[in-house]
Amino acid sequence: MGCRSDYMEQDGSEAFFQKTAKNLVYVLKSLNKPVPKWISETAETYYAKDPEGKLTPTLCGLIKKMTKAQVDKIVYDGRKPEARQLAEWWESHQKADDRRKQEDSEEKAKNKLKKQALKKLTSAERKALNV
């Protein structure tokens, strides 16, 4: 039986961080902006990390600030492999944001309903429920 090295593969977060950094490099270059060293290094690192959590917010912020023409040219240019990868990342990110916003909205509604219900209880009932 041969040796195995599958334990050395990138994990999901490492692959995501590297892909996000590569997308960020592409966007910054497309916008003629300088690419910070930490971003270019992360894009080239197989076991990429984002300890400060800056990659996704930076890329998201840049795309949100683009004009429609820039988005069409940089994100949705189907002739460029980098643009196709970025479009996939962007659409996935927007879906995740929408899910998070929906969950936050549902949580707020649940908390509001809970507060309303607790207001109806007497102090003895609250004490019995440990609330």
51 CB neighbour count, 10 Å cutoff: 6
Alpha-carbon gap, residue 48 to 27, rounded angstroms? 19
User: One digit per residue, pLDDT tens: the chain, 131 residues?
Assistant: 677 777 788 899 999 999 999 999 999 999 999 999 999 999 999 999 999 999 999 999 999 999 999 999 999 999 999 999 999 999 999 999 999 999 999 999 999 999 999 899 998 988 898 88
**At 49, phi and psi to the nearest 5?**
-130, 160
Give the pTM: 0.79
First and final CA of the chain: distance in angstroms?
61
23 CB neighbour count, 10 Å cutoff: 26
